[in-house]
Copies of this chain bind each other. A is one copy, B any other.
Amino acid sequence: MTGKKLTASALRRTLRIIRPHLRRHTWLIIGGMAALLADVVFRILEPWPIKIAVDAVTAALGAQIAPTFGLDTGVGTTLAVVAIGLAVIVGGRAAANYTSTICFALVGARVATQLRSRVFDHVQSLSLRYHSKASIGDTSQRLVGDIGRLQEVAVTAGLPLVGNVITLAVLLVVMVVLDPVLSAIVLATAGVYGLLSKAATPKITKASRSTRKGEGRLVGSAAEALGAIRVVQAYGLEKTVARDFADGNERALKAGVRARRLAAGLERSTDVLVGISQALVLAFGGWQVLRGAMSPGDLVLFLLYLKIAMKPLRDMAKYTGRIARAAASGERIADLLDEPVEIADAPDAVTMGPVCGDVVFNQVTSTDGHGRP
């Protein structure tokens, strides 16, 4: 709970430092959003040619189904039109996706450039009191590494996350219009998945963190043993040291296996969940087709939509983890920007005009190193 609250506040602070830079790129952002929306629309349209083709073919084989989209011009023409349509949709989706990726990558790069310059200027204006205390390595890491990660994650996780959420919302509406019962199955699957991943994710995070910690300790113990190698070799202590190292080694690797087991468990239970919901859609959908409420193409369409809906859900956990780590980077940058500038101009300061004059040393004495004037 507290972890989540921390992330939320870090995310708010991160957005606050980024927001002023976004305004200059309004057109690029609007273009990116438009391309993103086009991408979603094409994604939703993609399975339709397959549906129409299946319906046309089965109707041609003599099945009794209501004609869809008034394509009564003969099956051959329908197939050709549908194939071309599919190619156009896929091409459009690729173009839209490419455009949105590049637009947002450009925005990300430009905002990062400006933010880095702003932070650099701020750091340069800080007093020497700050600079004597602060670590140069840490500050330059914040300037380059943390801002770089922020940009990277915004483009490769934040953007797809937004796209996924929009896709899921639109998909839900389309499915409810097509068939409410089947949509309920899909929705229930998504809900159960959400619960599963909410329960498993913290455990996975904890296990992989303890793996990393164990590795860190292991590096420490190896370095210690190697640093004392003279003593170890002189007294023949190699076996004792090796035993200690092996203990830590085994512990770290057990933690690693545990993390992998948890992650695999989550992935596999997701697969089972999707499988069960596919089976339900297949059974109910088949029955709907027999009742005449759906065409065979609609059944295929629903199965494809189920797959399309599950991918964003599965990615969600991955993206949110990365965004939480980026928010931590954002907070480190915000901390740096919040460092007060101690030597600041007073609000009523006047600009210093050209200055001329001499520095005169008048009756100034100074002692040398031995106290003599």
Determine whether A8 belongs to the interface, using a CB cutoff of 8 Å to chain B.
no
Q: A113-B253, A121-B242, A245-B120 are in contact. Are A140 and B223 (CB under 8 A)?
A: yes
Complex CA–CA separation, A302 to B252 (angstroms): 45
Among B63, B269, B280, the residue within 8 A (CB) of A62 is B63
Q: How many copies, total?
A: 2
Which B residues lie within 8 Å of A87 (CB)?
A: 275-276, 279
Q: A54-B299, A61-B296, A290-B60 are in contact. Are A98 and B226 (CB under 8 A)?
A: no
Main secondary structure of the interface of A (DSSP, over half): helix
Question: B124 touching A225 by the CB < 8 A rule?
Answer: yes
Count chain A residues whose beta carbon lies closer than 8 angstroms to a beta carbon of B. 106
Which B residues lie within 8 Å of A271 (CB)?
A: 90, 93-94, 97
Q: A53-B282, A223-B137, A268-B94 are in contact. Are A238 and B113 (CB under 8 A)?
A: no
Determine whether A16 belongs to the interface, using a CB cutoff of 8 Å to chain B.
no
- Shortest 6 CB-CB contacts between residues of A and residues of B: A90-B275, A61-B63, A140-B222, A83-B283, A63-B63, A94-B268
Q: List 27 A-B contacts (CB under 8 A).
A: A49-B282, A50-B278, A57-B289, A58-B296, A60-B290, A61-B63, A82-B282, A83-B280, A86-B275, A86-B278, A87-B275, A90-B278, A94-B272, A105-B256, A109-B256, A116-B246, A121-B238, A121-B242, A124-B238, A124-B242, A136-B223, A136-B226, A139-B222, A140-B222, A143-B218, A145-B219, A151-B253
